[in-house]
Amino acid sequence: MKLKRLTTLLLFSILFQSCCTFYGDCEDRFDDSFIASNFTPVVIKRADFEASINLSNSTAIGTSGKIYIVNNTLFINELNKGFHIYDNSDPSNPKALKFLEAPGSTDLAIRDNMIYINQATDLIAVQFNATTNEISLKKRISNTFPPLRSPDGFEAYDIPENSVVVDWKPKN
């Protein structure tokens, strides 16, 4: 039994030593591109983030995400930016109404005339009045979701305190 444990320990130590060569330092053998993201996080202060929900004039769609239709209203996600809102009473010719700015947003759900948005790390409840084209923030639950990851799967590090990652931009 003792011989079996000793043999197993010896095999594992040989296996782990084979991961690095004996000449030179292992850390010198990797370049940063192997372990770093090809994207840089876009960060805003939490206070600005929480005040960032806004309804503005419609804009052209850039990078679209999920689509949601309720009654005659169409919502198209602009990935990590917000939602384009359209009057969809004539589906062959939807009319742009407004743009719901919500930095860091990727998805929404609508229930009982309330729009639930995952805005980066927070879950927010917003009410949209299609008649007056106005919104009102009803509730925010902070830190419901994990921080946004980069498109290549990395998490941001060295983020200033009381700040939130709302997007990722490619490195030059």
CA separation (Å) from 167 to 41, 76, 98, 105, 158?
Answer: 6, 17, 22, 9, 15
Give the domain ranges of the chain: 41-170
Widest Cα–Cα separation across the chain: 81
Tokens of 77: 């996600």
What is the dotted CATH code of the domain comprising 41-170?
A: 2.40.128
How many beta carbons lie within 10 A of that of residue 35, not counting itself? 8
- pTM confidence score: 0.74
Residues 20-51 pLDDT 10s: 555 455 555 555 455 778 899 999 999 999 99
Is the predicted pLDDT of residue 152 greater than 60, yes or no?
Answer: yes
Residues 89-124 pLDDT 10s: 999 999 999 999 999 998 999 988 899 999 999 999
Buried b (16+ CB within 10 A) or exposed e, 121-150: bbebebebeeeeeebeeeebeeeebeebeb
